[in-house]
Amino acid sequence: MAIRNLKGDPIETSIQKDAASFSSALRKLGKFCTENYEAIVTKTVIDLFASIVELTPVDTGRAKANWALAMNLNSADYADVLTADNFEYRIKDGTTIWIYNNLVYIVPLEEGHSKQAPRGMVAISLRRFSRFLNKAARDLSNVVQPNA
């Protein structure tokens, strides 16, 4: 039911304006995320990877240097990843992203056997995942303006 002025013309209330504005913003956000999800996911995974590497303790540097990032591995590469401490992320289009480290002592490091990283690296970075995702979307939205 529309609210009308004395002339009988409909008056758009502030609630109607706010709801319409909110609805429009949601549609734009949905379109933006749909059009840019690959870039958002890529930036998020890179930030996650960087966090894991940064948090990895250093003695000789081998553990930090051995982290790897891979997408859609073939069967020959797959065996190396399965023997590693790894994080697997599947994108809705079927792409699989792996973050892995196949050093024999990476699991003890993740479990806190280093005073430099007593709470691990991967677990801490995964808790930051939503922060990385939000930052990637925010950063991208500053570069790419969604179409109206």
Please say if the pLDDT value at position 148 is more than 50.
Answer: no
Residue ranges covered by each domain of the chain: 38-138
Average pLDDT over residues 50-54: 93
Select the more confidently predicted residue: 30 or 81.
30
d(CA 28, CA 140): 14
Q: What's the pTM?
A: 0.65
Share of the chain above pLDDT 70, in %: 68
Please say if the pLDDT value at position 22 is more than 80.
Answer: no
Handedness of CA 47, 101, 89, 75 (dihedral sign): positive
d(CA 120, CA 44): 20
Please say if the pLDDT value at position 101 is more than 50.
Answer: yes
pLDDT at 3: 60
pLDDT at 65: 92
d(CA 31, CA 8): 37
Encode pLDDT of 57-90 as tens digits: 999 999 999 998 877 665 555 555 554 455 555 5
